[in-house]
Structure 1
């Protein structure tokens, strides 16, 4: 089963509206809407809603990213009060900043694309930020190789926005200049194998814990009549299928015999195959398998090391990327390109052991002065300095 069936591209109709403090219609042209190169609904349903490994992996990464506050700097000075900080703390009346980042990362991981819309009067700083579901957005291809705008279709209505009004955070896609590639696309075969295995196991339970087979007669002079066949089938379904009938012996008469037709779970190496698929799905999201409860996946000696790897290899790089995307998108709207957003990693529990080791190493370095030690630890000057 493939997840990435393509939409047919459509040519949009121009839409205009007056500038208001709400989602604004912007005239964009000329350009052709390039349809998303995969089916977001299939990715979300089969790869996330019906797959416990992907569901848990996305939740771990998104929740970790949402737990880290963003700090705003002008040069080396951290600002404690600024409209950008207020906007990120409460992007719109419906969500807080943590929920906004959680959903932004979730869209990014499931679709490979995440879109945020800045809403406010033209030529002024935005008042609100709204996330747009990836399957409702098309990128409008510009003449210079850059997007000329974005088009959103919701409830049969089409709205267009200028390129600067929308943040498009996407993954690398070697086959598209306009859309990112979802991690679930790389893990599609593993997702299918895991889900089909779960369905097979459920069907096995519902069929009385026995694999499929056939009833046959070696000495029968004539085949069963339609009435006899229907009666026999109904009796087998009534007496020997379903969880309440699991393990009940099959009583045969009239020379009938049972021949098993399917492979047993042992023949299929059931558990090992399912665990292998789960590990591959976890790998696509950059989550250590043992954090998802996958057995026989002890890459790290303990859970603490696996947790630290999740932060260092996946969460922190993603946080830095989010901070850079928001900096490049928001600061020009506030008229100050000297501003920089950075994630505050000082209080992350998973990195406590590493912070302590670094502090001790620097503090015990006799060849460094106190001022040099404070500077390396990110501290300000002391009163003596």
Structure 2
């Protein structure tokens, strides 16, 4: 072990080691040591409380972010023996085993691969930052024995100027230092801060806040003064209070209190009439405003409305929504996670080990069928290449294109030759339908003059003729 390795190991015990040998041993720009750099300051923790409130109270925001987190957590991943597309995948890998049980000895956290990825993605959506603690090891150059996601509001970047030298984790009033090598920081782009990310909750803040306020408004209406749908009016100048109370009690007892009382017809006292209030223009604008808030939340989180709304959605629209969310929301998100894992964690197992998510974007089966048909007919792809793309095992005869297969294999079976004349079977002769010309020749060859010469009657001559026909038929 070199001197630099020993230095890295000792420094790692104090949380100051780089993630790999020689890492970050570069000359920093002149402004990096500026002490007045403001991006290193701890962000306002009340911001995260507001973001968490959006997640708890806005159904549209909660459902949208949940769709993304659960889709990311259920996506398939594999570890490959290199970064290339043709690299082979490991059947078993220590990092895959660690993902299955991320926090040994802390089973009370309920952590597994699903909840780990879910926590990382949810933190990115809320705060724009996600922190993953790499623990359970003696040195920063060893693979981790623990993956522990930390709440973003409890983590603070520490250092000098703009140079981050570690992290501080605060919980229950106490602060613990964490070294650079023991933390993976996932973050989204933030135009106003170089070190902390910007969450999707910030972009959807106004829409989510309006949505939550609208729900509180509705709850207050039903709690304090439920709006009337019908008003009973009278033409009389004075109405006795007892008569009003009697009518009010009659209305409640007759038409309210259960679903079986709905839809009845009311007959009022003389001098009274009912007026339906209906929906005002203001009510219509209020409902339209709530729909706009909901759509703004979907847009900020990158979720297609067809995946969220309970209205009847055609199958074609649902497939389009799945494709768009997979391609433009889920795939970039998982690529962000894979790149951080490949830069920070996978090199600890092997220099070329690469994590990759699989089949994130759903395939358009109809388009795939047309593409495969075109490529096969024109000889662009071989049969086995198409079978591999479909997840099928290659065939022994499939390493050729479809035109080649038709020319060599498909047409190798020659049609059976026509049988020779001697081998042909005679046509089936049905009694009473034999060739009349052949039958007449046989009858003509018979000696029909004999019965006439002997003076036989017509009956005997007819019998002789019938016998001659039978003989001609064989």
> Measured at CA, do residues 167 and 322 of structure 1 come closer, stay the same or move farther in structure 2, by a change above 3 Å?
same
Equivalent position to 2:298, from 266, 282, 289: 282
Distance 2:103 2:61 in 1: 28
Q: Deviations over 1:189-243 (max 9, x none)?
A: 11111111111111111123239xxxxxxxxxxxxxxxxxxxxxxxxxxxxxxx9
> Measured at CA, do residues 373 and 142 of structure 1 come closer, stay the same or move farther in structure 2, by a change above 3 Å?
farther
Distance 2:208 2:121 in 1: 20
Match of 2:345, SS? Answer: helix
Paired residues of 1:53 and 1:281 also in contact (CA < 8 A): yes
Distance 1:371 1:199 in 2: 61
> Measured at CA, do residues 177 and 63 of structure 1 come closer, stay the same or move farther in structure 2, by a change above 3 Å?
same
Structure 1 position 160 matched with structure 2 position 160: no
- Matching of residues 181-260 of structure 1 within 5 Å: 181-210=198-227
Which contiguous aligned blocks of 4+ residues in structure 1 show a shift greater than 4 angstroms?
30-33, 298-301, 378-385
Structure 1 position 345 matched with structure 2 position 334: no
- Matching of residues 27-106 of structure 1 within 5 Å: 34-37=41-44, 39-45=47-53, 47-75=54-82, 76-93=87-104, 94=107, 95-106=111-122
Structure 1 position 150 matched with structure 2 position 167: yes
Give how far 1:25 is off. 6.4
User: 355-364 or 116-125: which moved more?
Assistant: 355-364
Q: Greater relative contact order: 1 or 2 (C-alpha under 8 angstroms, separation 6 or more)? A: 1
- 1:135 aligns with 153
Match of 1:360, SS? Answer: helix
Distance 1:54 1:159 in 2: 33
Q: Deviations over 1:20-60 (max 9, x none)?
A: xxxx86369x9996212561111101x11000001001110
Paired residues of 2:376 and 2:382 also in contact (CA < 8 A): no
Q: Deviations over 1:263-294 (max 9, x none)?
A: 96735711100000010011110001232217
Distance 1:358 1:91 in 2: 43
- Matching of residues 162-177 of structure 1 within 5 Å: 162-177=179-194
Paired residues of 1:363 and 1:373 also in contact (CA < 8 A): no
Paired residues of 1:108 and 1:169 also in contact (CA < 8 A): yes
- 1:126 aligns with 144
Equivalent position to 1:322, from 337, 360, 363: 337
Give how far 1:361 is off. 4.2
Match of 1:88, SS? Answer: helix
Gaps of at least 5 residues in structure 1 are 1-17, 212-242, 245-262
Report the aligned-residue RMSD: 3.6
- Matching of residues 257-336 of structure 1 within 5 Å: 266=282, 269-293=285-309, 302-334=317-349, 336=350
Larger radius of gyration: 2
Distance 2:130 2:366 in 1: 32
Distance 2:225 2:334 in 1: 49
Q: Deviations over 1:96-118 (max 9, x none)?
A: 11111111111111111111000
Q: What is the TM-score with the length of structure 1 in the denominator?
A: 0.71
Distance 2:126 2:184 in 1: 17
> Measured at CA, do residues 126 and 279 of structure 1 come closer, stay the same or move farther in structure 2, by a change above 3 Å?
same
Distance 1:283 1:26 in 2: 40
Give how far 1:368 is off. 2.1
| Structure number with higher helix proportion | 2
- 1:7 aligns with none
